[in-house]
Amino acid sequence: MDVPHIPVLLNETVNLYKDMKNGYFVDCTLGFGGHSEAILEKYPQVKLIGIDQDKDAMEFAKKRLSKYADRVEFINKRASEALKELNGLPISGILADIGVSSYQLDNPERGFTFDSGTLDMRMNKEQSFSAKEVVNFYSREDLERILKDYAEERRYKKIADFIIKNRPIVSNKELSEVLMKAGLKNNKDLAPVFQAIRIEVNNELKELENILDASEKIASEGTILGIITFHSLEDRIVKNRFKEWAKKCICPPEAMRCECGGNNQKGKILTKKPITATKEEIKKNPRSRSAKLRGFMFTK
């Protein structure tokens, strides 16, 4: 079976769950089933619930995981929505490998590539809001915000200006040309701008927050949560949330002494520092370059 996506940090991710109990393993971002297949193989004590908002990916994963059919269920929805349906089940592990798959990135029809004839970038094709709206209808202020905050692009004012002056922009190819006119030089320069638009189209930062909220609600003692991110803002969200969950005392900083009981710790951080790809992995799969894996175990 030709697989259009290589899972990142595969061994590291599988190992994160080494103390996992019986129950359900929830893969929030099933994609092409690479991580899920390895988890099913390594941990026979778990059943798997595979979630993806992309129907194409899910169809592929269904075939790939068919030999585990009696241990797998699928939900074709946004992860934050799907997780809410799992309340009450014994959840032993949760994984979110946030972002787009290589299949989505490389398939010109999906409108993520720099030279694509469409302007789309939706992970879920049924969503109506796409890159067309962001590029053609966003206010100057909003365009500048995403270029500055998500792309960390210092030329954000100039780029927003060029986009606005060249509207309507109907394809990624045209968008790339406009960005080049604004001073970007190559694909390396274009990548963060495209990533920023994609994050906005799919509301990815808010969705990550929602996944963390929902995971906390369905977790119980021993549930292990792993999150793989590809953007510094996403990693910061995960890092801060894990820190907050690991805090014993939740009194405000100005409190003279602890009044909360000091027993508010929800669990422990399993990765003091994020796990990143080895040189060998980056060589084989350059997309693993920016991947960061963090883990947390709930203890109540």
Catalog residues that contact ligand SAM under the rule CB under 6 A. 5, 7, 29, 31-35, 51-54, 57, 78-79, 97-101, 123, 207
CB of 97 to ligand SAM, least distance (A): 4
| Closest distance of CB 238 from ligand SAM, Å | 14
How is 282-299 classified by DSSP, letter by letter?
Answer: HHH-GGGTT-EEEEEEE-
Residue whose CB is less far from ligand SAM, 102 or 166: 102
Shortest approach of ligand SAM to residue 178 CB, angstroms? 27
Distance of closest approach, residue 50 Cβ to ligand SAM, in angstroms = 9
- Cβ atoms within 10 A of the Cβ of 63, count? 9
In the complex, least distance from residue 6 CB atom to ligand SAM, rounded to whole angstroms: 8
Q: In this complex, which beta carbon is closest to ligand SAM, that of residue 33 or of residue 222?
A: 33
